[in-house]
Chains A and B, each alone.
Chain A
Amino acid sequence: MNMQALGINIQAILPETVLIIAALVVMITDLFRGKSEEADHADPIARNLPWLALAGVIVTVASAVWVWQQPSAALFQTAAISDNFAFGARLVILTATGLTVLLSAGYVPQFTTQIGEFYTLLLLCAAAMMAMGSATDLIVIFLALEIFSLGLYILTGLNRENPRSTEASMKYFLLGAFASAFFVYGAALLYGAGGSTNLSAIAETLAAGTGDASLLLPGMALLFVGFGFKIGLAPFHMWTPDVYQGAPTPVSAFMSAGTKMAAFAAFIRVLLTALPSQQETWAWPLAVLAVITMTLGNLTALRQTSMKRMLAYSSIAHAGYILVGIVPGTVAGASAAIFYLFTYAFMNIGAFAVVIALEKVSDGDVEQRQMAGLGNRAPALALMMAVFMFSLSGIPPLAGFFGKFFAFKAAVDGGWMWLTVVAMVNSAISAYYYLRVTVTMYFDQAEKGATDRLPASHMSLNWGLGIAAAAVVVIGLFPSVWTGLLSGLGL
């Protein structure tokens, strides 16, 4: 049988394949673990599972780079495509996965013995997210979406000791199922309007005007609601703070960057490949969504005292900034989204890593006042947190500034001046709650009873923190290296 003739190009799905194999290797290795549950911390296999997973991620990055250097190709009879944009999404998702593994190594054994399951699910989720980034068919998008969502529901509830974790999992599952329903219904209506589930075929039908135009608008609306849920756009964001707070912290960190990248990638493909002719129709609703998302996220974040909830609302606001760049419907906006999420993966997962360093897994939450005096108690940790906070608020010359800069640049280029102004004002508002963290760390006295020195963190957590902080600074100081690489990552 001629594989090429069927459009099956195994090369181009190499990264996903490698990652799934890595996930299976982790799962099988886990089976050889000693049975005694007390010996978990000492068990050599359990201890080295994260490194195995990390090695899988690194090999996948290499394979993704290799695939990227081949000419871009449509796969599986145009159900997916291996292009620059897909590579960008893969890179961001793999970065998030790698950092998450580093964050998890010391954390996961504290609440579960199912270490193998954790990493297997994590890698499978990442593989599905990558598939979503290269999907060009509504059905494939939906399948990928469901696969990684199912994985995330389980990961969220994996900390069974903590009722918050179970509650978060349940909430996430119910609302996620709801969102999936919206998505499927929207996809079905769009099929009616476009006569195909393939994104380019939909675009052709719409351009020719042969489809059922009355289905187009409701189809688009329902599809956007589905994406809005997954990305966490207001007013579909209600699950975000509860899930981020309840989920094991590395999982929250992973979701904040990985899920966003996957959902945004598919969203951008739908907008730019299938619906470019409708840009006039969808631009305004998206602009309004962006304004609501940013403003609501920032204003609510102002009032949070729990670090994880604060980061959850901040991540909602950041989704709004990314959307600002997408509204004009340009390639520049698409590559800006990739660059934004690339920087965001480092700074936000870094911030979650600091939360992990301070967290006692038992109660699973860090109040902001617990960070008081951190500048004295743990200078290096505080310094890195300050870097992440300044970067998240978009102060140059850190990575976060350039992320925002490129997104807003795309918006101004498309003539969306007022939207950019709203975004900048929001960015200034957000500085208040990020700054408050640095105030607590450096200017407030430590609480009575706070230990002078924190217990030493797991070595891999320190590595994760160090890598994230270094990346935030380096990307900020030498943005051209990355923009040069990523500017070719439009559609």
Chain B
Amino acid sequence: MLLIGGDGTKKSLALAVSVLTFLVSLALLWQWDSGQAGMQFVEQADWIPEFGAQYFLGVDGISLWLVLLTTFLMPIAIAFSNQHVTDKVGLYLALMLVLESATIGVFLALDLLLFYVFFEFSLIPMYFLIGRWGGKNRIYAAMKFFLYTLAGSALMLVAILTLYFTTGSLNVLELQQASLPYNVQLWSFLAFTLAFAIKVPLFPFHTWLPDAHVQAPTAGSIILAGVLLKMGAYGLIRFSLPIFPDATLDYVPLMSTLAIIGIIYGALVALVQKDVKSLVAYSSVAHMGFIVLGIFALNQRGISGAVLQMVNHGISTGALFLMVGMLYERRHTRLLEDFGGLWKSVPVFCFFFLVVALSSAGLPGLNGFVGEFTILLGTYEASPVFAIVATSGVILAAWYLLTAFRKIAQGELTHPENAKGKLADLTGSEIAMLIPMVALFFLIGLFPNLFLDKINPSVEALVRGDTPAIVLHVDGMQVER
């Protein structure tokens, strides 16, 4: 549909579709049964009956917010693209919407093969977005992104087949109840976790991320950081932990250590970046380290915090990339040294930038704090040493983000191009894109329980190791099965 019609029509159509998707997904929240831990809104149909592969979708407290995050970020990313993308707009927008369906599919799939299909398929639209509309080094970045992730998930397919022949099922809920022999658990855990660790990305598998982020168009970066990285962390929670519990226990020290290295390393590298976009990219490595750390605390607080922090990181980093994109479209540079003293010329921009940076740095009262704090509590329960070391990451985060803010906004106006009148401040529509994000910073920061209430039951069930009953919504009625 997006391949025909004028560019203007395509733009409004894509925006309307994504907004509509968001509104529809809000209906999930409306009808949500908070007390329930199990899958809700389940859809189940035969797909390849010869070996029991099903078209099996469902949402629980863990995936609910990730689906909403996806549908929330997409209209913003499309709205920003509508202002700046000129080349082959129809194709671009079509790819964005395809990407949205693929990512939502990843979060909903409860059949291993179906999950794998969505997981791999999501690579194609992102590959084209980076390769076609990206920066100078876009081809290299697109290839690296695609091949790195593809190679990572290659072994996952072998593991999926092994699981199928061990248990006779591809149903994720059934697999969670199966007690697998240790040997199968171990190898499958390693195969799944490698795929997810690359996607997250966990140190030392992160090298594709700075390239992809820096080269991707702004909307691509927003979705990449906001949603695609979450697929890895989500996979760890949904598959690695509950299906291979014994193997997971054995690898907690390794995974936690890698997560902490990621936190410190990402932060230190972010500190010395000259390009704001790579700074944000490396900050993602650090933040995702926190999330993995929370997951491998293997307790209620750690995992709930990780889920919440996934949402936080999606919005905060999404907003950071968005603002960097706004700045880039004005000045066509992203180097820190080209800015300075912007507060004098574009105060509205700087105000929003400060709020976003503080949210990302984890200022109490804003969203990032709640997530990181919950994760650290969970980690402390599991291992105080890890928690103490990880806390230094919070300090480093504040350091590099505030340094970036200082270099951009404060001090003297050193470049005449940045002077008042030459550099335009945020427009009404740009503010309109940022307002919902900032509103969510405060909403999550001040009323985290609105979100945690829905996450907790599912995470509790996960930690206990049982698979709760499916909740069906039939004509507004709720039926347990």
Contacts and interface: CB of A to CB of B under 8 A. Distances in A.
A487 B143 CA distance: 36
Which 8 interchain pairs have the tightest Cβ spacing? A396-B117, A424-B154, A428-B151, A412-B161, A480-B48, A428-B154, A443-B131, A397-B117
Nearest to A395: B120
Interface residues of B, number: 33
Query: Which one of A395, A427, A444, A479 has the greatest number of beta carbons of chain B within 10 Å?
Result: A395
Interface in A362-411: 390, 395-397, 401, 405, 408-409
A431 B131 CA distance: 16
Interface of B: 46-51, 113, 116-117, 120-121, 123-124, 127-128, 131-132, 138-139, 142-143, 146-147, 150-151, 154-155, 157-158, 161-162, 164-165
Given A397-B121, A479-B48, A435 B147 contact: yes
A121 B424 CA distance: 72
Contacts, number: 81
A73 interface: no
B194 to A, nearest CB: 12
A contact patch SS: helix
Contacts of B121: 395-397
A442 B142 CA distance: 12
A427 B154 contact: yes
Interface stretch (A89-97, A162-170, A241-249, A413-421): A413-421
B143 A483 contact: no
B449 to A, nearest CB: 39
A239 to B, nearest CB: 30
A431 B123 CA distance: 12
A443 B139 contact: yes
A284 interface: no
Interface residues of A, number: 30
Contacts of B117: 396-397, 401
A444 to B, nearest CB: 8
A442 B132 contact: yes
Given A479-B48, A480-B47, A484-B49, A417 B162 contact: yes
A430 to B, nearest CB: 10
B295 to A, nearest CB: 26
A427 B155 CA distance: 11
Given A412-B162, A421-B158, A428-B150, A396 B139 contact: no
A439 interface: yes
Contacts of A463: none
Contact of B142 (A408, A439, A480, A487): A439
B128 A484 contact: no
A352 to B, nearest CB: 22
A18 B293 CA distance: 68
Contact of B157 (A424, A439, A483): A424
Contacts of A484: 49-50
A425 to B, nearest CB: 6
B106 to A, nearest CB: 12
A178 interface: no
Contacts of A424: 154-155, 157-158
